[in-house]
Structure 1
Amino acid sequence: MGNFFVDVWSWALWTRRPAACTFCKLQDKFDIDPPSVSWAAKVCAFILNTAVDMLMSSLVALILVDLILFHPNSVHPRVDDAAITTFELKNDTTGGGGSSLRYDLSMAVTFFNDHRIYAIRFDHLTAGLYFDGAKLGPSDTLPSFKLHTRRHRKLRPVFHGRESNISAAVAEEFARERAAGTGRSITVDVRLRTTLRYLSWPFKATYYRVYHCSIQFPPPTNNIAVPSPSINYHCAR
């Protein structure tokens, strides 16, 4: 039985000479004749080679499926609405000098899974508020969730607080935007950070993504909530 398996392996290697380059060179160098094996060994060698070819083709197909389907390029959260109640710059009188920026902003953002095959899990999801590249306060930690096929989930990040020691560059940009008029004169950037996990047996893929949601507001007055006209659009990556 042991010799039979050796014959099968020898004939399988011989018939795959173009793929086995090293073995092919040895055959040419030492003028090795084809192995003398039985017809049963040749049949088994043919089946072995066919199985190897099918396995390699299936592996290539699975890699292509993974590259095409399991990629988060189509995942972009959408800003449904946003409102700002307070966004004002004042001199900091609590000590240390400088300026402080008070802010109060809320928004609604929707995550989609439009695919019909795989589910997507959103983990480590946070939302941070930025103005002129400067982060304002701590990030809002949002709950993790799983989106099955053809489903969506709406979340409502809230940002409220005061950021002290505002830099001169940020204060200058704030003054410039407030002086631009009563139109869309304040632009903030909400950055959504999350880990995407694609789940569809036997595949599992993980990606880290940061989405930038640029939102514009008219300057709020008298602590009255002002809605943003820049809604119903998808955040950029």
Structure 2
Amino acid sequence: MGWRRSGSGALCGVVSCVVGVMVCVVVVAMVVYLMFRPNLLHATAAQAELSTFSLALKAWTLTYNLSLAVDLTRHNARLALRYHSLTADAYYQDQRFAHTRLPDFAQPAITNTTRLTPSFHGRQQLFAGVAAAAFRREDTQGTYSIHVFIDAKTHINLAWPITLPGPNINLHCPLRLHLSNATADHFFHPTACHISY
């Protein structure tokens, strides 16, 4: 009889453990959903300066110098977030021409907005064809279509020492830029960036 009681007790312990784990998973999933619903974060390209953007037509080599300031605003002031493994990529006509890493940072509960400042400069060879035709057209117009993507991994700090893994965050900032040394006065207008998780 004692052996049977011990077996049933062990079975109850396993069931209780499984139920407890399931409850924890559901609670964590609900917390993450409430924290990372679509309106949690808002990103804006607040400033941008394109001082160099030229294409050598025979070698198809793009020379560029682009600096950007992106404001990342968290609407849920009760959360503390940590961002890590940040990367920024710049594209022209669906071709990546620049890549850089950004420093990890934390957004405490008291801080709602953090400014990211990726900068790109150098040279990159592009595939000819569509990119060259688009560059000739936009060079005549004096406005260039550049897309900047910022990716980050996150952790949620609920309360010390409780930390949960958060979703990966992907920012897409579609930019229309004039050369900063152009003769005409062109001002950059803040542009909303799209966020996906």
Q: TM range, normalised to the smaller chain?
A: 0.7 to 0.9
Cα RMSD (Å) of the superposition? Answer: 3.5
Q: State the identity as a percent.
A: 20
- Asked if 2 retains the 8 angstrom alpha-carbon contact of 1:100 and 1:166, the reply is no
TM-score by length of 2: 0.75
**What are structure 1's unaligned runs of at least 5 residues?**
14-47, 92-96
TM-score by length of 1: 0.64
Deviation at 1:191, TM superposition (A): 0.7
Give the equivalent residue in structure 1 for 2:148. Answer: 190
Q: In structure 2, which of residues 46, 52, 55 is the aligned counterpart of residue 80 of structure 1?
A: 46
Give the equivalent residue in structure 1 for 2:132. Answer: 171
More helix by share: 1
- Asked if 1 retains the 8 angstrom alpha-carbon contact of 2:49 and 2:179, the reply is no
Q: 1:206-236: CA deviations, max 9, x gaps?
A: 322321101112355569996423x152334
Amino acid at match of 2:59: G
Q: In structure 2, which of residues 52, 71, 74 is the aligned counterpart of residue 113 of structure 1?
A: 74
Amino acid at match of 2:158: S
Give the equivalent residue in structure 1 for 2:5. Answer: 6
Give the equivalent residue in structure 2 for 1:149. Answer: 109
Amino acid at match of 1:103: Y
Q: Which has the larger radius of gyration?
A: 1
**What are structure 2's unaligned runs of at least 5 residues?**
none
Give the equivalent residue in structure 1 for 2:36. Answer: 71
Alignment of 1:1-237 (within 5 A): 2=2, 6=5, 59=24, 62-63=27-28, 65-71=30-36, 73=38, 74-91=40-57, 97-137=58-98, 139-151=99-111, 152-179=113-140, 181-182=141-142, 185-201=143-159, 202=162, 204-219=164-179, 221=181, 227-229=187-189, 231-237=190-196
Q: 1:23-71: CA deviations, max 9, x gaps?
A: xxxxxxxxxxxxxxxxxxxxxxxxx9xx99x969964762453343243
Quick one: distance in 2 between partners of 1:124 and 1:88?
Answer: 30
Deviation at 1:140, TM superposition (A): 2.0
Bigger relative contact order (CA 8 A; separation at least 6): 2
Counterparts in 2 of 1:236 and 1:56: CA distance versus 1, 3 Å: closer
Amino acid at match of 1:88: S
Amino acid at match of 1:200: L
Counterparts in 2 of 1:171 and 1:149: CA distance versus 1, 3 Å: same
Quick one: distance in 2 between partners of 1:129 and 1:67?
Answer: 30
Quick one: distance in 1 between partners of 2:27 and 2:65?
Answer: 48
- Asked if 2 retains the 8 angstrom alpha-carbon contact of 1:85 and 1:225, the reply is no
Deviation at 1:145, TM superposition (A): 0.6
Deviation at 1:155, TM superposition (A): 2.2
Quick one: distance in 1 between partners of 2:125 and 2:183?
Answer: 20
SS of residue matched to 1:167? coil
Number of corresponding residues: 188
